[in-house]
Amino acid sequence: METKRCDLGLCVSEKVLRYHDTRWCKPEHRDGELFAMLVLEGMQAGVSWNLILNKEENFRRAFDGFDPKIVANYGEQKVEELMRDEGIIRNRSKIGAAVTNARAFLKVQEAFGSFDKFIWGFTGGKVIDHHLLSAKDMPAKDALSEKVSAELKKRGFKFVGPTIVYSYLQGIGVINDHWEYCAFR
């Protein structure tokens, strides 16, 4: 019997399946992974998630394991090094946003004790489950992603518009948009 999954479209790779089955819409509370996903979602703007997953290991290597304390201290020399790294998305604005976001991330950790407390605080620690039936039911953004986006921007984050934030909230499990019949809900 075939395992039922959300309709993942035409670009299904082994990495996409693994991500869907084990990470997407699964609650994440480790600050390091919350930062990693924020960077990856920002890098995804304008390209496919499949491309990001194919380059994820390269991103983790290039960005020092997504350690926000290290990324926050990147200077122009490191940015130039990243701009030459063919294993990642070489977009100066996105790379700069990762550095800016690391600095803002550390400030949020300082203010709230952890980024986890901050980001999950928008839902009182609860997962928002939309019980979707098909792709047409999934919004690109919603009131929650608009609220989180506005707060992140207010705190100095970049590349955190409501659509990117909606995808981020799915990626860290605040929003569960697995379809009702999906075996990986």
Count of structural domains within the chain: 1
Burial of 85 (0-12, 13-18, 19+ CB in 10 A): middle
Structural contact between residues 11 and 48, judged by C-beta atoms closer than 8 angstroms: yes
Taking each helix axis from N to C end, the angle separating 162-171 and 143-154, rounded to the nearest 10 degrees, works out to 100
Question: What's the average model confidence in pLDDT over 37-61?
Answer: 96
Cα separation, 115 vs 128, in Å, equals: 18
Cα separation, 116 vs 121, in Å, equals: 8
Tell me the CATH number at 31.
1.10.340.30
User: Greater confidence, 135 or 30?
Assistant: 30
Is the residue at 150 inside a domain?
yes
What string of H, E and C letters represents the secondary structure of 84-136? CCCCCCCCHHHHHHHHHHHHHHHHHHHHHCCHHHHHHHCCCCCCEECCECCHH
Helix (H, G, I), strand (E, B) or coil at 151: helix
Which residues carry out catalysis? 19, 41, 49
Q: What letter does residue 130 receive in the DSSP assignment?
A: -
Is the residue at 185 inside a domain?
no
Confidence class for position 11, pLDDT limits 50, 70, 90: low
- pLDDT tens per residue across span 160-182: 999 999 999 999 999 999 999 99
Q: What letter does residue 65 receive in the DSSP assignment?
A: G
Confidence class for position 62, pLDDT limits 50, 70, 90: very high
Is the residue at 19 inside a domain?
yes
Is the residue at 77 inside a domain?
yes
Is the residue at 1 inside a domain?
no
- pLDDT tens per residue across span 98-134: 999 999 999 999 999 999 999 999 999 999 999 999 8
Computed over every residue of the chain, the mean pLDDT equals: 95
Q: Provide the β-strand partners of residue 132.
A: 179
Is the residue at 6 inside a domain?
no
Is the residue at 2 inside a domain?
no
Range of the domain at 87: 14-176
Is the residue at 183 inside a domain?
no
